[in-house]
């Protein structure tokens, strides 16, 4: 039976009650979870809760939060709960719009409005455009406008006609006609109303011909002077027409704009924008004129699909309501599930128009930073970091205190064409990143900006001390799950079984894993089995059924491997004994479920130069930790058995029939036992598998996956038939962690299987060999016949033979020298 080692750990064969810590369900005080209040119990996260409260409460810049911890412990759920509570207590932030920038069209202007007024502003601007669409054409259709326009046009026309007419009259006075040619005007001598025929002209006296030619040249010069004046007159007329148009437009727009100005008087940005709109409309009244036949009106383009209306001139007066808080009553909480660069900072969309991609301010869409502005934003750190430039964009926004919507292609310099550069929007929000610990460590180590921006670490624990109070909290959590997920109520025994499973998941009978998604999964599956069985409540055997079914679902590989052993294709003995051969235990994981695999470990020794050959490492199948374990064994051997002389040993260690990577040091105790067996030439029992790591003093140290390893070996032994001498030798430090399955516990209780806890290699060797290990006496020797004495003698023999072998060449050399 088990004794106690230093530190209170049990040593020796463990009792059945030491293999499984039962949950004391009778102390729960309820029969089903329906009787428990759902008070949103938080299980074992006091440290995280305190950090969350601090991080949310502090308003200084840079105090963003990083919620780290194992997956499934409720980081997002808990952070969301606290953030939503905090958001509910904060005021609704401002609405944000983008409007056309009349001075710099490529740089849309951002305007903030009180919450809910953004929509009203958008609607008011749409109405203004609609009113102008009727008001401006009506003003231009008035007789007054037409008359004044005709006056200006007529003035220009008359001016031209008068000037040309004067030239024509000068020409006519000299019997020269002014003719309109395809490219302008020409002069020709007349005969009556008609141009003089060439023959008649040639018949004229020379003097008359010269006179006509000279007169025509003079007239051409005069005409040139007139024509040069025409563009000047036309510009003057155009200026007058423009002023007339502005005056007419002004009468149509002034009252409408003034009305809006007074409505938005407390908002200077809006008032300024309205002033710019007024000026722009005065210059572009034609946008509001009805379309001519075959044209699409500007207003039609405005309401049509973007692709068709990309060129609509009236879109410049639209309002792009980027963030609308009309329907919200508190500050926002946003969880962005897909934190790409664009989803964070917004994007500028494009539409295809005439074969080219075009964009304008109405195509700017909000990102998560816009939506969460004034509140809280939660992001998954890993997702964020795996999206190109998303992390940089977030940091840039937090450091600069503004969100700048810039296409990713521009950030990367992939586009050289001119694009929109919307005005940045001031940013005031708190960001919570959720991620694993190693991501936090990496960011902290490699990104100097990270500690400045995420000063609050929220460290979520993966397990909690298994106390009665914690078990009751766990029950409350199960009750909450059942209620929220509409599962059947859980009986107290079912909750107890879940507690035990949580304890096993924590890898310790003294802990409870608080991986809530795993607990929820088990609860849902147990509920399913209760349903299959037609029950109204979930019983303990439903939980057991769920666990069994889960094991069966991933049992294919362990079963196949076991079959290979049973059929003798993989050599693992579960009985008998052999020198230099021990059963080690490995752990594999499939789909989140782990299982143990027995593996044969052998050792061979001979005289040599102190080399301990790790075949796994030599064949590049051994990991660094495994190699370290083997080197520790060498240190143990040298220190314990050859402290005063050379270690003239050459040994080989191997995981037999292992063709994959071997890592970890949990087999170092097994390897050492095999090696010492080979040195002592004493066989080891192959009925007992060994797991544990060792240090250079021969202490056996704790390893991981102890439950799975024991169960894996138990399953193999069961398949061959339990003979009573089989068992597993484990580190004493692992004994408190045991939460073994029912079959193992029953077998141990029935004396058909044994779990031995050992603190030293000597204790293990004695169990495996049945021979006393032996301790050094007062003169430093081991008792005769003890294992250690045999080992020491063997090593001394190796050393002596090595010394003799080394002396032979030295003697030959000395003889040759003498002979010379």
Partner 1 sequence: MIVRRVVVATAAPGAAAALATAVELARAMHADLRGVFVESTDLLALATLPFAGEVGFPSPGRRALDVESMQRGLRAQARRVERELASVVAGRPLRWSFDVVRSRMTAELFAEAGATDLAVVAWSRAAGATAGLARALRAFRGATVPLLLVAEHLRRPLSVAVVPPPSFDPAVLADALDALWPRYGRAALIVDVAPASARREALRRRVDRLLAGRGLAPRFRRLGHALDLPALVALEAPRLIVPLIGDEEDREAAVDALECPVLLLPAVRRGTTA
Taking CB under 8 A as the rule, does residue 230 contact partner 1?
yes
Is 294 among the residues that bind partner 1 (CB under 8 A)?
no
Nearer to partner 1, 196 or 679 (CB): 196
| Residues 683, 812: Cα–Cα separation, whole Å | 41
Phi, psi of 696 (to 5 degrees): -70, -10
Phi, psi torsion values for 535, nearest 5 degrees: -100, 155
If one asks whether residue 164 binds partner 1 (CB under 8 A), the answer comes out as yes
Q: Quick one: which of 34, 224, 295, 465 contacts partner 1 (CB under 8 A)? A: 224
Q: Is 205 in the site for partner 1 (CB under 8 A)?
A: no
Which range, of 95-103, 197-205, 323-331, 681-689, touches partner 1 by CB under 8 A?
A: 197-205
Backbone angles phi, psi at 250, to 5 degrees: -60, -40
Catalytic residue among 666, 677, 685, 786: 666
**Exactly one of 60, 194, 206, 207 binds partner 1 (CB under 8 A); which one?**
194
The residue from 37, 173, 181, 780 that contacts partner 1 (CB under 8 A) is: 181
Tokens of 739: 């939460």
Instruction: Based on the shown chain and the rule CB under 8 A, indicate whether residue 528 belongs to the binding site for partner 1.
Output: no
Q: Identify the active-site residue in 677, 709, 718, 786.
A: 709
Binding mask 297-336 for partner 1 (x = CB under 8 A): ----------------------------------------
Least CB distance to partner 1 at residue 144 (A): 14
The Cα 264–Cα 238 span in angstroms is 36
- State how far the alpha carbon of 366 is from the alpha carbons of 93, 341, 344, 396, 541, in Å: 15, 12, 8, 17, 52
Q: Does 231 bind partner 1 (CB under 8 A)?
A: yes
- Bridge partners (DSSP) of residue 755 are 728
Query: Is 228 an interacting residue with respect to partner 1 (CB under 8 A)?
Result: yes
Nearest to 683 by CA among 770, 606, 614, 607: 770
Q: How far is the CB of 133 from partner 1 (least distance, A)?
A: 23
Distance CA 137, CA 160 (A): 30
Q: Residue 141 CB, nearest distance to partner 1 (Å)?
A: 14
Q: Select from 16, 120, 204, 216 the one that contacts partner 1 (CB under 8 A).
A: 216
Shortest distance, position 194 Cβ to partner 1, whole Å: 6
> C-alpha angle with apex 738: 732 to 743, nearest 5 degrees?
125
Q: Does 137 bind partner 1 (CB under 8 A)?
A: no
| Binding residue (CB under 8 A) for partner 1 from 96, 185, 333, 753 | 185
Rounded Cα distance, 640 and 676, in Å: 12
Smallest distance, partner 1 to C-beta of residue 294, A: 11
Residue 783 lies near partner 1 (rule: CB under 8 A): no
Least separation in angstroms between residue 117's CB and partner 1 is 47
Residue from 58, 195, 204, 330 touching partner 1 (CB under 8 A): that is 195
Stretch in the footprint of partner 1 (CB under 8 A) among 165-173, 246-254, 534-542, 581-589: 165-173
Q: What is the DSSP letter of 192?
A: T
Considering beta carbons, is residue 229 or 254 the nearer one to partner 1? 229
| Sheet with 754-758: strands ordered across | 3-4, 10-13, 754-758, 727-731, 688-690, 581-590, 593-607, 649-655, 611-614
**Are the C-beta atoms of 279 and 163 separated by less than 8 Å?**
no
Q: Which of residues 141-160 bind partner 1 (CB under 8 A)?
A: 157, 160
Cβ closest to partner 1, residue 228 vs residue 262: 228
HEC assignment per residue over 697-730: CCEEECCCCHHHHHHHHHHHHHHHCCCCCCEEEE
Say if CB 466 and CB 511 are below 8 A apart.
yes
Among 99, 110, 196, 270, binds partner 1 (CB under 8 A): 196
Least Cβ distance, residue 293 to partner 1 (angstroms):
10
What is the spatial distance between Cα 323 and Cα 337, in angstroms, rounded to a whole number?
A: 19
* DSSP string across 374-440: TSEEEEEHHHHHHSTTHHHHHHHHHHHTEE----HHHHTT---S----PPPEE---EEEEEE-HHHH
Judged by beta carbon, residue 213 or residue 657, the one nearer partner 1 is 213
Regarding 244 and contact with partner 1 (CB under 8 A), the answer is no
Interatomic CA distance for residues 33 and 476, integer angstroms: 7
Q: Tell me the C-alpha distance between 212 and 216, whole Å.
A: 6
Q: Least separation, in Å, of the C-beta of 301 and partner 1?
A: 24
Are the beta carbons of 527 and 487 closer than 8 angstroms? Answer: yes
Q: Which of 114, 186, 521, 608 binds partner 1 (CB under 8 A)?
A: 186
Q: Which is nearer to partner 1, 180 or 486 (CB)?
A: 180
The answer to whether 628 is a known catalytic residue is no
**Least distance from C-beta 225 to partner 1, angstroms?**
8
Binding of partner 1 by 220 (CB under 8 A): yes
Half-sphere exposure of 63 (CA within 13 A, CB side): 11
Q: Is 666 a catalytic residue?
A: yes
Instruction: Name the segment binding partner 1 (CB under 8 A); options: 186-194, 268-276, 321-329, 480-488.
Output: 186-194
The reply on whether position 206 binds partner 1 by CB under 8 A is no
Phi/psi at 379 (5° precision): -135, 150
Q: How far apart are the first and last CA of the chain?
A: 73
The H-or-E segment that residue 752 falls in is none
| Position among 29, 57, 91, 184 found at the interface with partner 1 (CB under 8 A) | 184
User: Is 182 among the residues that bind partner 1 (CB under 8 A)?
Assistant: yes
Question: Contact with partner 1 (CB under 8 A): which of 201, 410, 535, 564?
Answer: 201
Kindly state the smallest distance separating residue 236's Cβ from partner 1, in Å. 15
3-state secondary structure 454-491: ECEEEECCCEEECCHHHHHHHHHHHHHHHHHCCCCCEE
289 lies in the binding site for partner 1 (CB under 8 A): no
Rule CB under 8 A: is residue 165 a binding residue for partner 1? Answer: yes
725 near partner 1 (CB under 8 A): no
Total site size for partner 1, rule CB under 8 A: 39
Q: Is the Cβ of residue 4 or residue 191 nearer to partner 1 in the bound state?
A: 191
Residues lying near partner 1 in the complex (CB under 8 A): 157, 160-161, 164-165, 168, 171-172, 177-190, 193-198, 201, 213, 216-217, 220, 223-224, 227-228, 230-231
Task: List the catalytic residues.
Answer: 666, 709
């Amino acid at each position: 039976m088990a004794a106690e080692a230093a530190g209170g750990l049990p040593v020796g064969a463990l009792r059945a009650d030491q293999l499984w810590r039962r949950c004391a369900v009778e102390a729960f005080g309820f029969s089903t979870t329906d009787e428990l209040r759902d008070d949103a119990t938080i299980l074992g996260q006091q440290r995280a809760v305190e950090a969350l409260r601090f991080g949310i409460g502090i308003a200084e810049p840079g105090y963003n939060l990083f919620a780290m911890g194992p997956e499934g412990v409720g980081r997002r759920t808990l952070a969301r709960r606290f953030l939503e509570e905090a958001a509910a207590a904060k005021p609704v932030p401002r609405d944000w719009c983008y409007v056309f920038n009349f001075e710099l069209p490529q740089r849309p202007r951002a305007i903030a409005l009180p919450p809910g007024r953004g929509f009203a502003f958008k609607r008011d601007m749409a109405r203004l455009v609609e009113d102008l669409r009727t008001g401006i054409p009506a003003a231009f259709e008035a007789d007054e406008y037409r008359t004044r326009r005709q006056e200006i046009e007529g003035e220009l026309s008359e001016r031209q006609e008068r000037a040309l007419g004067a030239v024509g009259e000068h020409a006519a006075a000299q019997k020269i006609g002014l003719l309109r040619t395809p490219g302008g005007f020409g002069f020709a001598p007349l005969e009556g109303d008609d141009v003089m025929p060439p023959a008649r002209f040639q018949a004229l006296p020379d003097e008359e011909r010269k006179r006509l030619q000279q007169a025509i040249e003079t007239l051409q010069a005069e005409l040139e002077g007139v024509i040069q004046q025409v563009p000047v007159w036309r510009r003057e007329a155009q200026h007058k027409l423009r002023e007339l148009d502005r005056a007419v437009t002004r009468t149509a727009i002034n009252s409408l704009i003034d009305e809006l100005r007074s409505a938005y008087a407390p908002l200077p940005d809006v008032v300024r924008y309205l002033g710019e709109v007024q000026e722009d409309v005065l210059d572009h009244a034609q946008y509001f004129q009805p379309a001519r036949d075959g044209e699409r009106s500007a207003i039609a383009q405005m309401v049509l699909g973007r692709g068709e209306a990309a060129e609509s001139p009236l879109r410049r007066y639209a309002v792009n309501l980027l963030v609308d808080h009309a329907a919200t009553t508190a500050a926002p909480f946003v969880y962005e599930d897909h934190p790409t660069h664009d989803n964070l900072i917004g994007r500028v969309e494009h539409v295809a128009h005439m074969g080219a991609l075009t964009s304008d301010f109405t195509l700017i869409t909000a990102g998560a930073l816009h939506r969460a502005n004034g509140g809280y934003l939660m992001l998954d750190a890993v997702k964020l970091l795996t999206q190109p430039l998303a992390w940089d964009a977030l940091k840039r926004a937090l450091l600069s205190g503004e969100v700048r919507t810039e296409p990713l292609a521009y950030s990367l310099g992939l586009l050289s064409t001119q694009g929109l550069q919307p005005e940045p929007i001031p940013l005031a929000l708190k960001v919570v990143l959720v991620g694993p610990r190693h991501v936090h460590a990496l960011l902290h180590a490699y990104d100097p900006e990270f500690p400045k921006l995420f000063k609050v670490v929220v460290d979520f624990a993966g397990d909690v001390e298994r106390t009665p109070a914690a078990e009751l909290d766990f029950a409350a959590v199960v009750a909450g799950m059942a209620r929220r997920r509409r599962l059947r109520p859980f009986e107290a025994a079912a909750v107890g079984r879940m507690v035990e499973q949580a304890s096993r998941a924590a890898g310790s009978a003294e802990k409870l894993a608080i991986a809530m998604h795993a607990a929820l999964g088990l609860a849902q599956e147990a509920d399913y089995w209760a349903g299959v069985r037609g029950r109204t409540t979930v019983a303990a055997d439903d939980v057991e059924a769920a666990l069994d079914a889960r094991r069966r679902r991933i049992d294919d590989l362990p079963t196949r491997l076991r079959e290979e052993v049973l059929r003798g294709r993989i050599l693992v003995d579960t009985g008998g004994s052999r020198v230099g051969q021990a059963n080690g235990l490995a752990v594999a994981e499939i789909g989140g479920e782990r299982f143990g695999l027995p593996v044969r470990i052998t050792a061979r020794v001979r005289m040599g130069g102190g080399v301990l050959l790790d075949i796994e490492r030599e064949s590049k199948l051994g990991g660094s930790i495994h190699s370290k374990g083997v080197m520790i064994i060498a240190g143990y051997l040298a220190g314990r058995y050859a402290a005063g002389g050379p270690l003239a040993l050459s040994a080989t260690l191997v995981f037999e029939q292992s063709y994959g990577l071997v890592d970890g040091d949990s087999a170092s105790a097994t390897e050492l036992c095999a090696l010492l067996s080979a040195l002592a030439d004493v066989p080891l029992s192959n009925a007992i598998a060994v797991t544990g790591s060792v240090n250079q003093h021969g202490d056996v140290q704790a390893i991981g996956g102890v439950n799975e390893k024991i169960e894996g070996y138990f399953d193999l032994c069961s398949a061959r038939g339990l003979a009573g001498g089989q068992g597993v030798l484990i580190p004493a430090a692992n004994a408190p962690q045991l939460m073994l399955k029912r079959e193992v516990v029953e077998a141990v209780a029935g004396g058909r299987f044994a779990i031995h806890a050992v603190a030293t290699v000597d204790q293990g060797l004695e169990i495996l060999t049945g021979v006393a290990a032996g301790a050094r006496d007062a003169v430093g020797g081991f008792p005769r016949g003890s294992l250690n004495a045999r080992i020491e003698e063997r090593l001394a023999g190796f050393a002596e033979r090595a010394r003799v072998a080394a002396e032979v060449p030295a003697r030959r050399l000395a003889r040759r020298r003498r002979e010379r």
